[in-house]
């Protein structure tokens, strides 16, 4: 039975009528709430958009939604209180310009304060930064190796046509970083946050650059050193297991790929001060950074989202305007930028498919169904966020004035 109103309906979960009323404000697409008794409540906007279904397994989730807000609804998914046959479709619906739905469940103030305090306690001092990075990246090289492409790259690729393989698109991203930086063969580049060494290998092998790489992840440090040794590039690439704030050298260029997101707002000035100090006069730094929309930044910075709680503790995104302002405050000039959010959406959708294709092997490593739901939630929500431009990704190039 498909219903478009709760009027006259009995035995509904507490606060469902309120939640359904909010869903009815959505402008694009359709969402169905399916209950075990066969009733389906449908909210459909006037505009075309994604179609999704939410299956209710615990009637307490709507009370949780009002009490804990969006984050509580996310937690309820991890706890198995609701499910959906197509999680990506649900995420696409939420982000498809349905801002009335997106913004209507902030949660109770006390819960917000608790989550913000917990997040604040994870801010990225040097010691805490190492713990926060380990939380995500030290899950194990074998885990990431199962579903990343051969380059072992865990950041947005650049798809020019959409027909490239993931490996080709990741290599295109590396090429763009070097091109935007404007460095030439023989130049010495500092990479702040080197991942598993993919950029360093490309820059040394394909572009003739000398690269010094910084990481605070033990797992990535070991993998990257072995990778460069296997490629015979030890004379061109050096890895340091240290915080970026402890670096003292001066370089022809600086590269940093999606490391800034883990810095934390309190330490943005330190980050850009380091970029300024480590860059030669006249040199350029190209930074690949995820951004949140300017008009959503203030609301975003006051809350704690699913990614900050479960995936990247201590992390914080800038908006484009805030990013440029922070760089300029450190004395850097903003030269140019390219944006490619849709490429990130495609990258994430490919990761999501590859992760689930390899689930049997991931599970054999000791990861459980809750972990699977958490990662699926993370990957699909991010894919939708980039597709509908609530977030973007940029390669911004900064210069140190003569």
| Active site residue ranges | 382
Residues 6+ apart with CB under 8 A from 113: none
For 213, half-sphere exposure in the C-beta direction (CA atoms, 13 angstrom radius) is 31
Longest dimension (CA), the chain: 76
| Selection from 111, 103, 101 nearest residue 54 by Cα | 101
Structure tokens, 331? 């004395």
Taking alpha carbons only, the member of 177, 183, 173 closest to residue 151 is 173
Lookup: tokens for 209: 């650059």
Cβ neighbours, 10 Å, residue 236: 18
Measured between alpha carbons, how far apart are the two ends of the chain, in Å? Answer: 71
CA atoms within 13 A on the CB side of 338: 16
Buried b / exposed e along 35-44 (16+ C-beta atoms within 10 A) = beeebebbbb
Nearest to residue 87, comparing CAs of 317, 296, 372?
372
355 CB-near residues (< 8 Å, 6+ apart):
146, 147, 362, 375, 376, 379
Contact (CB, 8 A) for 263 and 271: yes
According to DSSP, residue 247 is labeled -
Residue 103 has a CB neighbour count (10 Å cut-off) of 12
Q: What is the CA radius of gyration of the chain?
A: 22
């Amino acid at each position: 039975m498909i219903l478009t109103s709760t009027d006259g309906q009995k035995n509904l979960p507490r606060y469902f009528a309120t939640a359904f009323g909010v869903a009815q404000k959505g402008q694009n697409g359709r969402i169905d709430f399916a209950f075990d008794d066969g009733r389906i409540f449908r909210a459909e906007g006037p505009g075309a958009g994604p179609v999704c279904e939410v299956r209710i397994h615990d009637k307490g989730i709507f009370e949780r939604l009002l009490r804990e807000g969006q984050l509580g609804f996310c937690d309820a998914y991890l706890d198995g209180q609701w499910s959906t046959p197509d999680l990506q479709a649900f995420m696409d619906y939420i982000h498809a310009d349905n801002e009335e739905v997106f913004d209507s469940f902030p949660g109770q103030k006390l819960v917000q304060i608790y989550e913000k305090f917990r997040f604040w306690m994870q801010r990225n001092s040097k010691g805490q930064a190492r713990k926060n990075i380990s939380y995500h990246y030290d899950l194990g090289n074998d885990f990431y190796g199962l579903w990343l492409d051969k380059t072992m790259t865990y950041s947005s690729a650049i798809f020019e046509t959409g027909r490239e393989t993931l490996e080709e698109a990741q290599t295109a991203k590396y090429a763009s970083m070097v091109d935007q930086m404007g460095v030439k063969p023989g130049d010495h580049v500092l990479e702040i946050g080197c991942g598993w060494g993919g950029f360093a290998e490309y820059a040394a092998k394909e572009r003739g650059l000398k690269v010094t790489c910084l990481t605070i992840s033990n797992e990535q440090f070991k993998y990257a050193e072995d990778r460069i040794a296997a490629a015979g590039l030890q004379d061109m690439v050096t890895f340091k297991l240290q915080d970026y704030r402890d670096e003292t050298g001066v370089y022809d260029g600086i590269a940093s790929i999606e490391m800034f997101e883990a810095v934390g707002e309190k330490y943005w000035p330190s980050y850009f001060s380091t970029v300024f100090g480590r860059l030669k006069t006249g040199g350029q730094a190209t930074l690949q950074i995820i951004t949140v929309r300017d008009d959503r930044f203030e609301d975003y910075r006051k809350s704690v989202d699913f990614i900050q709680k479960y995936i990247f503790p201590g992390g914080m995104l800038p908006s484009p305007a805030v990013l440029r302002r922070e760089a300029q405050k450190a004395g850097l000039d903003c030269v140019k930028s390219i944006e490619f959010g849709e490429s990130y959406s495609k990258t994430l959708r490919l990761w999501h498919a590859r992760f689930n294709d390899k689930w049997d092997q991931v599970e054999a490593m000791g990861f459980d169904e809750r972990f699977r739901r958490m990662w699926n939630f993370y990957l699909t929500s991010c894919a939708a966020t980039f597709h509908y431009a609530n977030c973007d990704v940029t390669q911004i190039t900064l210069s140190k004035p003569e």
